[in-house]
Amino acid sequence: MRTTLWPQAFRIRVTRALALLTVILSALAAPAHADRLDLIQKRGSLIVGVKSDYPPFGMLDADGKLVGFEADLAHDIAEKMGLALDLRSVTSANRLQKLEDGAVDLIVATLGDTQQRRQIATLIEPNYYASGVNILTRKDSGITQWSDLRGRKVCATQGALYNKAMAQRYLLDLQVFNGTRDTKLALRDGRCVGYMYDDTSIANDLLQPEWQDYGMPLASAMISPWAIAIARAEKGGRLETMLGNIVADWHRSGRLIALEAKAKLPPSDFLAKANTLWNAKEVDGQPVCQRLPSGAWPVQCRNKALLSSTDVGGLYGLSLMIREKTGFNITLLHDHYDQRLFLTGLLTTLEMVLVCIVGSVAIGFAGAALMRVRNPVVRGLTVTIATFARMTPPLLQIYVVFFGIGSYVVTRYGWSFDGFVVAAAALSLYAGASNAFSIATALKLAAPTHGGNPRHYRTEVFRLAYVPVMAASVNVVKATGMASTIAVPELIYASTGILAEQGNADVMINLLMLVYFLIVLAVVRLFSLAERRIMGSAVPVGSDGAIEAEGQKS
């Protein structure tokens, strides 16, 4: 029989010491205070802090009682816990302090969920509501998306956190005023097209008769979810779990949507999406959002803005780690929605490139043919159209067809134009007009040289027309981005959309520039390849050719 190295008695002593250490450590980890839930249950009532100055979320009614959306939520919590409710008024300045003091058990007080706040309080997941930025504008303003505001004067109130970010993301011309009253007056006086502010506050303004001609037409941006909060020390405790389950139930049952409607708030996108998410089932019938063994919710049910690289693995984790280390937010690495948007943009741009090159060359040949017919009227008309098309900006041509003729047609025949078709047609016409002149010139110059050999003639025409046609094609490729101005979902549209949502202008705009540059480069290379194939010669393309053509455009 082998004897152990350590005597039996010693081993027992070590085990005992370890057990003691574990107890001490766990006591330190969960500070030595009574569980708040015990205290609440002993007291028999739940003390909830809500706002009194933020209608319709928290306000005082005629009897001085605290009412509103968040007060309703507090009633619901107390009822589910079988407790009496004691509502207290808190303000933005003191709400977290009151939690820390223990003056209130929890707050439901328009508290935005941020990383910093998670350091000083325990924020309940899931979030129960979300606010964002929106604009108050006249109902007849014609504004339907944020990009409609690019470069326009937009009124804002000094000190609002999102002013700078929004101005950058949507290139707004912000007119900043002191206080909400001044800003609203400025909007009234027509000094700006809209007033940018919290959507929740605008929703309340819209209930007032003085704003009946106004609306909130955009999808809210910079969505900031709100969280119920309890004291920091309650992290990981029973109260946190209980409240989390209550909020999850609210999302599943549609209770939040019902209370939102009761508060006369416009239906929020956030609640609709949360309702779908929390009712979603896996293929095996299990709910997608149920607590993991660790007690946490699955990643897809949590606030994505607050995840860190330790919460997730794979590409998502890598992408978050890059953001934490370098500040670059490469959402394209993990966000499927952004990926699809960008890929659609890329394909649309490539499609536009192809259609425009083929279209402009076809128009060029057709135009050149028409310029050489006997009939002087046809000839004159072709030259006039081609000249006009070349001497007016393609952007205006797109606007004339899409908005100008488009609005005529839609009001009279109810038929609306497709943006892609309009942009492709206008750009093809613009480049095709210059092609028509170059091809016509080439046909004229090559005519005396062919000596009856049609093959020689064709090569000669090709040689003469090649450089200007290639230059026009490269130019039209560069101009395809103009389609974004009429909301064709191409690369620029997709990129500016993603950066507006994610706030990663540095990443997206550099990527956009790079991808576009590569597309242009590829087109140039393909042209020189085609030239070598057809001409059988290795005429160096690029250096002076493209610009000679620019000169010829004059």
Residues lying near another protein in the complex (CB under 8 A): 140-142, 150-152, 167-168, 171, 173, 193, 387-388, 391-397, 399-400, 403-405, 407-408, 411, 474, 477-479, 481-482, 485, 492, 496, 499, 505-506, 509-510, 512-513, 516-517, 520-521, 524, 542-544, 546-548, 550-551, 553-554
- Give the residue from 550, 403, 394 showing the smallest Cα distance to 471: 550
CA atoms within 13 A on the CB side of 173: 8
**Among residues 265 and 389, whose Cβ is nearest to another protein?**
389
- Give residue 18's identity as a one-letter amino acid code: L
Q: Identify how many contiguous H helices and E strands the chain contains and give both numbers.
A: 21, 14
**Do 485 and 403 meet the contact criterion of CB atoms below 8 Å apart?**
no
Residue 161 or 405: the one with the smaller Cβ distance to another protein is: 405
Non-local (6+) Cβ contacts of 142 within 8 A are 148
- β-sheet bridge partners, residue 175: 155
Question: Could you tell me where the DSSP H helices lie in 145-284?
Answer: 163-170, 179-188, 199-205, 238-253, 255-262, 269-279
- Report d(CA 480, CA 431) in Å as an integer: 11
Closer of 53 and 548 to another protein (Cβ): 548
Cis peptide before 7 (omega within 30 of 0): no
Distance separating alpha carbons of residues 420 and 490, to the nearest angstrom: 9
Name the residue nearer to another protein (CB basis): 357 or 479. 479
Query: CB of 524: closest distance to another protein in angstroms?
Result: 6
| Minimum distance of another protein from residue 519's CB (angstroms) | 8
Shortest reach from residue 545's CB to another protein, in Å: 9
What is the pairing mode between strands 153-157 and 173-177? parallel
Shortest Cβ 553–another protein spacing (Å):
6
CB of 536 vs another protein, minimal distance in Å? 25
**Cα–Cα distance between 178 and 156 in angstroms, integer?**
9
Nearer to another protein, 6 or 388 (CB): 388
Q: Considering beta carbons, is residue 74 or 136 the nearer one to another protein?
A: 136
* Residues pairing with 226 in the sheet: 112, 129
Q: Let me know: does 462 contact 535? Beta carbons within 8 Å.
A: yes
Minimum distance from residue 488 beta carbon to another protein (Å): 13
**Nearest C-alpha neighbor of 489 from the set 216, 147, 141:** 147
Choice between 126 and 345, CB closer to another protein: 345
Q: How far is the CB of 469 from another protein (least distance, A)?
A: 16
Least separation in angstroms between residue 511's CB and another protein is 11
Q: Which two tokens stand for residue 78?
A: 């107390």
- The count of C-alpha atoms lying within 13 angstroms of the C-alpha of 515, restricted to the half-sphere facing its C-beta, is 19
Q: Closest separation between CB of residue 395 and another protein, Å?
A: 5
> Residue 214 and residue 38: Cα distance in Å, rounded?
50
* Residue closer to another protein, measured from CB, 6 or 403: 403
Nearer to another protein, 92 or 392 (CB): 392
Q: How many CB atoms lie within 10 A of CB 99?
A: 26
Amino acid at 239: L
CB of 280 to another protein, least distance (A): 36
- The tokens describing 474, both together, are 């490269």
Compare residues 69 and 342 and give the one whose CB is closer to another protein: 342
